[in-house]
Each structure stands twice: as C-alpha cells, then as structure tokens.
Amino acid sequence: MNSKLISICTVIFLICTSQLSFGQYPPPAGHPGSTAIYTDSSVFYGWAKHCKIVRGYVNIADTTITYDGLNHASYGDSTMALGKADGQVVSLGDGGSATLTFDTVISDHDGWDFAVFENGFSDSFLELGFVEVSSDGIHFVRFPSVSLTQTQKQVGAWDTLDTRKLYNLAGKYRVLYGTPFDLYQLRDSAGIDIHHITTIRVIDVVGCIQDPYARYDSQGHKINDPWPTPFNTCGFDLDAVGLVQNAPSSVDDNLQIPQVSILPDPCSHQVRFYTGTSSRLNYQIIDPLGHVVIQSSFSGGIVVNIDKLPDGIYMVNFSNEATSLRVTKKLVKYSSSL
C-alpha cells in the first residue's frame, strides 16, 4: 500500500473514531436538537393504566447477593408506573421488565407515538431499557437501538453516559423528560400492526459487559451502563409511559429545528436520513469546498446514494420548509475497499 493511501486510511480512521467518540445522536434535554419531551407537554393525551412487573436480580452475575434480604429489586410497585410521570418509580432490577397497557389502542401517526420516562438525576447518570410493542400482548417486536458507549471498561455504579451516543433506548433523558418512540420505524415488522398496538414493554438492559450477562443493541454492540448496582433500586427505574400526539420537534414547542438522524455514519455507499416527524425537510450535502453536491427534500426518511462522492467530510444542512431554521450535521464518506 503506498504512502498516500496509508495517509488517507489514517485520516478516515481518525475521523471515524472521532465521530464515535463525540456521539451522533440527539443531546440531553434542554439542548438544541434534543428529542426529550417534558412531562407537562401538551402533546400527551394518555398514560399507562395497568402495569405488570417482573423483577430482575440485584446482581445478575451473583444471585446470592441480597439487599434487605432480597436478591431481586424491590423498590416501588407497579402503581408507580401508572399515570403521569412524576418522579415516583418502580425499579426493575437486572434484566427485569414492565408490561404496560392503556385504555386505548395506540396507532402510528405523524411524529412520535409515545415516550418512556426514567428517573435519571442528571443528564449523564442514566440507566437504560429496551422498548418493545405488541398488538396482542403475546408477540412483541423490539425497537432497533444503538449504544456507542465504549465496551473496554465497565461503566461503574456511579459513572456516567453520553446521551449523544444512545439511540432508541429508554432512559436516555433525565427525570421528567421522556424518550420518544415512533411506531413508523416498525412498519415492516412481522407479527404486529403499528395501527393497533395494545401493549408496551420496557426491559432493563442489565448493562454488564461480561459475556455471560451482556445485552446487545440492534447493531451487535454490547450495552454498557451503570453496573453493578446491588440495591433495592437496581436496574431501570420506570416512572411512566405517555401517549403522544402532535409532538413538538424538541422540548421547546416554539423551537422548530428539525430532528434528524444520519445512519450509518461513517458510510460508504448509501446513507439514510431519518426524522421523527412528517414535516417536509430540505437537505443539502456540501463538500469540503462549500459546493452543494446533492440536494433534495423528504419527509419521514430517505435513502441517499453517495457512492460517487469522493471520500471526505461533508456537511449536511437540513431545513424545515415551514420555517427559516435549520440544523447542520457532519457526514463522513469513505470507500469500503480501502
């Protein structure tokens, strides 16, 4: 391999690792671009009415460990997960779950469809959960999730996470701010009808990176979150699940900055732009010299072929057709043959 090609590979590698280091998903609640929804938002029209809890261990790696004589989580009860998010929670324990039903059938519509609340006491002390839905209460489909947190070292019981490295995992936001989910993402899933969802399930991710106990995101990454937490409050702390309609694009109803995910990034041949709302967005892919190389518009999501673009760092401008505001994100293009 010649020195020029080695240099290109090195630069691309550094760019890729830098992207993973800083994260690529929406930031904490209250920051521009966040998708967090506050409990008092007018977008909520319903809350869970019934909840069944299956408790997990206080330490899944050693089930002899107890807290107050019990080897399972014991804080709170199922009623804590009912009604509006208020900071009162039920702890699920390592791998524990909560199955919730509502007084109405949930249907996919424009924007977010529901939000899950945890009680993280800061923007970085976070405990995570998978989210699944069902049309019959028997067959469940899990939302695709991504965790870009490093997996070389266990996140300790009091260590922190970067919200920007987390996607579609409940608990991404601090107390009283819900993590939203869009049923449209599951439109091609077998066994459910996204216009007739009756049940939502939240499952603690455990967070342990030891092979026997690790849980994985939809891309095969181990999910690393605070562990072990051998207390009665261990695992995901479920506060509430709220049903959403006409969701704002951020916690501020007046801030109409479009929320867009770029997947995958870095990428080589095709890239997908995904937004959680039906608002039509314009996009421009701009090369390092400031030239617009690809532009168009979309709503919901779009796959863009970038195979013919030279390797490098591009900026992508997204703008809402109904406003003058925009958001800009970085896109890294590389050749898979390098």
Report the CATH number that the domain containing residue 73 is assigned in CATH. 2.60.120.260
Residues 156 and 292 in one domain: no
The full DSSP string for 78-115 is GGGGSSS--S--EE--BT-EEEEEEEEEE---SS--EE
Q: Give the pLDDT confidence score for residue 24 in this predicted structure.
A: 75
pLDDT above 70: percentage of residues in the chain: 85
What distance in Å separates the CA atoms of residue 46 and residue 245, rounded to the nearest whole number?
10
Report the CATH number that the domain containing residue 313 is assigned in CATH. 2.60.40.3080
Residue 201 has pLDDT above 50, yes or no: yes
Average of per-residue pLDDT values in the chain:
86
**Tens of pLDDT, residues 242-300:** 999 865 433 333 334 456 778 776 788 888 887 755 667 889 999 888 889 999 998 77
Contact 44, 242 (CB under 8 A): yes
The full DSSP string for 180-210 is EE-GGGGTT-TT--TTSEEEEEEEE-----S
Q: Which domain holds residue 329?
A: 3-24+259-333
Last residue of a domain, one of 223, 252, 281: 252
What distance in Å separates the CA atoms of residue 23 and residue 297, rounded to the nearest whole number?
25
* Whether this model's pTM surpasses 0.85: no
**Tens of pLDDT, residues 122-171:** 999 999 999 999 999 999 999 999 999 999 999 999 999 999 999 999 99
For 86, 102, 119, 200, 240, the CA distances from 82, given in Å and listed in that order, are 10, 10, 14, 13, 6
Residues 137 and 233 in one domain: yes
* Token reading at 214: 């690790």
Residues 306 and 223 in one domain: no
Q: Which residue type is seen at 115?
A: A
Q: Please report whether residue 62 resides in a domain.
A: yes
Q: Which of 71-80, 206-215, 223-232, 314-323 has the lowest mean pLDDT?
A: 314-323
Q: Give the pLDDT confidence score for residue 106 in this predicted structure.
A: 95
pLDDT above 90: percentage of residues in the chain: 61
